[in-house]
Amino acid sequence: MSEPKAFQDYYPDHLAYCYGCGRLNEHGYHIRSFWDGDETVAYFTPQPYHIAVPGYVYGGLLASLIDCHGTGTAAAAAYRAAGRPMDSEPALRFLTASLHVEYLKPTPLGVQLEIRGRPKEVKGRKVVVEEWIIARGEITVRGEVVAVQVPDELVLEIIRKGQAPSEG
């Protein structure tokens, strides 16, 4: 049996370069999010270079995990609300309009992190997702993402400019 596809696996190629969740960004985190009942889940193991102070994860990485898992959850929730499979057209892709992160306690390095989310609101082109990061069974970070659907004009502009990011 093959592994289930992550939400991010459904992103069209021209929208799959995000540093946090883009499967086509060779240097990125490659966050992979899945449904787990009414919640979503992703796992990520920070590397030693994701350090803030010895033994603990850099807060910017934690915010990235909340951000990218949130936009993936938003897309999946929008498809679910519309009763559409994630591989149906037109593609629903979301960007962050607002990101709120609360660091509850230091997040240890060297352990797999569990990122969980739950859609709070799905309304038109806007989805609000509440999230939390768990390390060693404890919630260390809480967050909320307000995600908006990528406008069709922006998608067309991205396609027109080319699919691959420029090297610079």
Residue 120 main-chain phi, psi, to 5 deg: -95, -35
167 pLDDT band, cuts 50/70/90, is very low
**Arithmetic mean of pLDDT, 107-131:** 97
14 pLDDT band, cuts 50/70/90, is confident
68/32 Cα distance (integer angstroms)? 9
In a domain, 21, yes or no: yes
Domain that holds residue 103: 7-161
CATH number where 76 lies: 3.10.129.10
158 pLDDT band, cuts 50/70/90, is low
Write down the mean pLDDT value for the chain.
Answer: 92
Bridge partners of residue 144, in order along the sequence: 100, 130
Q: Give me the pLDDT at residue 37, please.
A: 97
1 pLDDT band, cuts 50/70/90, is low
In a domain, 102, yes or no: yes
Q: Does pLDDT of 162 surpass 70? A: no
In a domain, 2, yes or no: no
Q: What is the residue-wise DSSP string for 41-77?
A: EEEE---GGGBSSTTBB-HHHHHHHHHHHHHHHHHHH
Q: Does pLDDT of 165 surpass 60? A: no
pTM greater than 0.75: yes
Q: Does pLDDT of 146 surpass 60? A: yes
**Could you give the number of structural domains in the chain?**
1
The number of helices, as runs of H, and strands, as runs of E, in the chain is: 2, 6
In a domain, 168, yes or no: no
In a domain, 128, yes or no: yes
In a domain, 130, yes or no: yes
Q: Do 46 and 12 form a contact (C-beta atoms < 8 A)?
A: no
In a domain, 43, yes or no: yes
152 pLDDT band, cuts 50/70/90, is low
Expressed in angstroms, the distance from the first to the final Cα of the chain is 41
Q: Give me the pLDDT at residue 168, please.
A: 42
9/93 Cα distance (integer angstroms)? 12
Q: Does pLDDT of 64 surpass 50? A: yes
